[in-house]
Structure 1
Amino acid sequence: MKAISYSTYGGPEVLAYGEVGDPRVGPDSVLVKVRAAAVNPVDWKCREGYLDGLLEPVFPVVPGWDVCGVVVQPGLAVTEFGVGDEVIGYVREDVLSHGTFAEYVAAPVRTLARKPRNLTWEQAAGLPLAGLTAYQVLTRALEVGRDETVLVHAAAGGVGSIAVQLARHLGARVIGTASARNHDFVRDLGGEPVAYGEGLVERVRGLAPEGVDAVFDTVGGEALKTSANLLAPEGRLVSIADPDVFDYGGRYSFVRPDAGDLLRLTELAEQGVVSVHVSDTFPLERTADAHRLNQEGRTRGKIVVTVDWAAEDAAAP
């Protein structure tokens, strides 16, 4: 099958498009024909070796954890899905090996849920990792409740944009940091935008004089210090970007595959609670360009890679 792979750590130039071995389908997995796979910051961080101490690479590595596609072969023990089912997944293993930037991926059923009926392939591909991250942080790590005020950093990004929508659904007031060009976008999501940079503490305090009840950090670095200065008494701080959050009395969160949580996100998408904004799409062979754009860090919503099955679909009876 055709796929993107890399045989050494490095920049986008190490990504190669070509033939790789077909994935093996285990008893508890299904073979998914990939329609779209979203790009996430963790993809290029893995590619550059930043997670080497956490996830062992098995070269050549096919990158990618997000997927949307169609089941073409269930494993011997699988009863949850059948041939033709449309699914989404956060297909993460504990090693870097067989990812989703490929024509096919073998996905454990614990990583999958049915695709939201109202989303396109591209939109649905952008939901799993970002949606699970936002859902697990808000409902478990931060335990956001009704009438609380939540500060979401990078509120126009892939995780941030979903976090704004979910926090509003939980009954919270949301303040979101974003560049000026994304303020209307954040407002449309239900958040109150504030600009990054110098004076952020004063701007947030102008909206929440007593401080905020919870901070969802997706940026790290200086944002952690700023966040700690904005918390109300008993306020909570969680970061998905920087383990130094512990120095500020906060928690670090790393998203887990969870079929139940993913199904809940599918339901929320179908109810119109959660939408996924896709800013750019690239064909599979241009995954390196998608990585470059994501690495710039200025994306609104999601960047998605697509697999073109037009010729095969046309030939189907």
Structure 2
Amino acid sequence: MSTQETTASTSRAVVFESFGGPEALTVRDVPAPQAGPGQIRVRVTAAGLNPMDWYMTSDAATAARFGLDLPCGFGTDYAGVVDQVGDGVAGFAAGDRVFGGALSRAVADHVLIDLAGTIAAGGDAHRTPDGVDDRTAATLTIAGCTAAAALAVVSPGPDDTVLIGAAGGGVGVFAVQLARLAGARVIGTGSAASADALRGLGAEPVTYGEGLADRVRALAPGGVTAAIDLYGTETVQAARELGVPDARITTIAAQIDGITPANGADAAPGTLEEIAGLVAAGRLRVPIAATFPVEQIRIAVELQAGRHVHGKVVIDL
């Protein structure tokens, strides 16, 4: 094993000792994990929060669907620096800046990544490009993969007008910009307070709620050709009312007969490298709404779970 940092014997980690909401989260000192064969250890500097983080640890039955049991960690998106390299590892060295996903264990000083694994089992790692800071890199994995998978279902292009529901949320900020980069016109739903933020991403804002289809029709009398619902079913219902065929509608948080759902696990190989490259080139911007030290994890999760944040919430470690 080659190491850059061998002195750490303990590591702070956010853990659930009982399932529940933010009140069940605690910061504990735990033994620092050690990189084994085929593994790297990352000294995490930032961890991005996603709705799935608190959803899948809300109760025992939901946690079991994700293969989690007590005690378990928290958070999936991370960024940091490789500080241990296990035997047989090629392509990474101590000191490399990396980002990626490690299901429900990313909010910790150290995270082990099995380079033969996946986000859900073992974790994954990608090189952080120059020009992308760690806070931003820590927001890319789940939201970026989910947005890319959603766009792959509806395949927007220059001739499309795409309706994106919950466009100002964590996945929405990626979906809007990726659809715009594909040449599409984007109409994004949100609260009245989010209108300026949506315009800043390149979307034309429309308020959600009753009468959505009529408001969209007024904005786009020529019609809407594709739709992505990033919250529930309201955008799907409006899209159907506007004549969008089911084949060009997708969801990430609801199962609807006739609609193909999008899952970040289905994102094409190379998706994260492409997204990180767009960020590095200044072509994709990730708004970070708030950052918190790990000791304030409960406050951070309460803010993020309120679903009114325009952009991403990041934990500093």
TM-score in terms of structure 2 length: 0.88
In 1, Cα distance between equivalents of 2:243 and 2:39: 44
Aligned equivalent of 1:131 = 144
Instruction: Tell me: CA distance 1:53–1:60, structure 2 relative to 1, closer, same or farther (3 Å).
Output: closer
% identity of equivalent residues: 39
Q: Residue 134 of structure 1 aligns to a residue in which SS?
A: helix
Q: Residue 214 of structure 2 aligns to a residue in which SS?
A: helix
Q: Is 1:213–1:234's contact at 8 Å kept on the other side of the alignment?
A: no
Aligned equivalent of 1:27 = 37
Q: Which amino acid aligns with 1:20?
A: V
Q: Is 1:113–1:263's contact at 8 Å kept on the other side of the alignment?
A: yes
Q: Which amino acid aligns with 1:8?
A: S
Instruction: Tell me: CA distance 1:231–1:271, structure 2 relative to 1, closer, same or farther (3 Å).
Output: farther
Structure 2 gaps of 5+ residues are 1-10, 119-123
Q: Residue 264 of structure 2 aligns to a residue in which SS?
A: coil
Q: Which amino acid aligns with 1:302?
A: K
Kindly indicate whether residue 195 of structure 2 is the aligned counterpart of residue 190 of structure 1: no
In 1, Cα distance between equivalents of 2:57 and 2:222: 42
Aligned equivalent of 1:238 = 250
Q: Residue 167 of structure 1 aligns to a residue in which SS?
A: helix
Kindly indicate whether residue 259 of structure 2 is the aligned counterpart of residue 250 of structure 1: yes
Q: Which amino acid aligns with 1:51?
A: T
Q: Which amino acid aligns with 2:252?
A: I
Q: Residue 150 of structure 1 aligns to a residue in which SS?
A: strand
Q: Which amino acid aligns with 1:119?
A: V
Q: Residue 81 of structure 2 aligns to a residue in which SS?
A: strand
Q: Residue 58 of structure 1 aligns to a residue in which SS?
A: coil
Q: How far 1:9 sits from its partner (Å)?
A: 1.0
Aligned equivalent of 1:272 = 282
Aligned equivalent of 2:96 = 85
Report the number of matched residues.
Answer: 298
Q: Residue 163 of structure 1 aligns to a residue in which SS?
A: helix
Q: Which amino acid aligns with 1:252?
A: P
Q: Residue 20 of structure 1 aligns to a residue in which SS?
A: strand
Work out which of the residue numbers 89, 94, 102 in structure 1 matches 2:108: 102
Q: Is 2:191–2:207's contact at 8 Å kept on the other side of the alignment?
A: yes
Q: CA RMSD in A?
A: 1.9
Q: Which amino acid aligns with 1:30?
A: I
Q: How does 1:1-317 map to 2 (within 5 A)?
A: 1-49=11-59, 51-92=62-103, 99-109=105-115, 111-138=124-151, 140-233=152-245, 236-243=248-255, 245=256, 247=257, 249-256=258-265, 260-307=270-317
Q: Residue 30 of structure 1 aligns to a residue in which SS?
A: strand
In 2, Cα distance between equivalents of 1:250 and 1:150: 16
Structure 1 gaps of 5+ residues are 308-317
